[in-house]
Chain A
Amino acid sequence: SAVISQKPSRDICQRGTSLTIQCQVDSQVTMMFWYRQQPGQSLTLIATANQGSEATYESGFVIDKFPISRPNLTFSTLTVSNMSPEDSSIYLCSVDTGQEETQYFGPGTRLLVL
């Protein structure tokens, strides 16, 4: 298993600003992911954070809007850039430890953009 923490747990931001969310894992993992969960919607994969190389983004998500860093095997950041109210959502990071394709999720970051 893996224990994941995220910072901040919640934030209220003004439109046009950017917020960086941190994800810390208690063990080294190869695969880290970033998801978005909008109200009443399913979890949607934003990107896979790759250590030592650029993140792999899913359709509909671009690096300019959601830049991701992965400096080592236990840490990643997601930045939500030039925010608008439509970016109000819960952002979650998850990891796959390589055991049975199970993903472990962080508690999420609740973002409200005014």
Chain B
Amino acid sequence: SQKIEQNSEALNIQEGKTATLTCNYTNYSPAYLQWYRQDPGRGPVFLLLIRENEKEKRKERLKVTFDTTLKQSLFHITASQPADSATYLCALGSNYKLTFGKGTLLTVNP
């Protein structure tokens, strides 16, 4: 069965450092992969999409990589800020359907 693993349930880093979150998957061939941010008590908010034929995407301080051979995506937040503290969800997509990982709770300490 399909399985998505996000490297850790929680990640703590110091302000200004780069946060790196990992998403690994098995038994799946997604057409695209997305990252969402979810704050407590709110629905997920879309951040980035990367397609199966793309290696890297950037948006401001965010960068995502996608390795379909390793079946892995890395999500980077550079120059992290306390306001980046949230749960980040990885989602694999195909035909408009998304399968989500459990998420990683990122805490950026001032």
Interface residues of A (CB under 8 A from B): 4, 31, 40-45, 48, 92, 94, 96, 100-108
**Mostly helix, strand, loop or mixed at chain B's interface?**
strand
Question: What residues on B are CB-neighbors of A42 within 8 Å?
Answer: 4, 89, 100-103
A106 to B45 alpha-carbon distance, docked (Å) = 9
Interface residues in B, total, Cβ within 8 A: 21
Question: What residues on B are CB-neighbors of A103 within 8 Å?
Answer: 46, 98
Quick check: A101 and B42 within 8 Å, CB to CB? no
Quick check: B32 and A101 within 8 Å, CB to CB? yes
Q: How many A-B residue pairs have CB under 8 A?
A: 46
Q: Which of A4, A102, A108 contacts B46 (CB 8 A)?
A: A102
Question: What residues on B are CB-neighbors of A108 within 8 Å?
Answer: 41-43
Q: List 10 A-B contacts (CB under 8 A).
A: A4-B43, A42-B101, A42-B103, A43-B44, A43-B89, A45-B98, A92-B44, A101-B49, A102-B34, A106-B43
Q: Which residue of B lies closest to A105 (CB)?
A: B43
CB distance from A61 to the nearest CB of B (A): 13
Question: What residues on B are CB-neighbors of A102 within 8 Å?
Answer: 34, 46, 49
Quick check: B49 and A41 within 8 Å, CB to CB? no
Q: Which of B42, B46, B102 contacts A104 (CB 8 A)?
A: B46
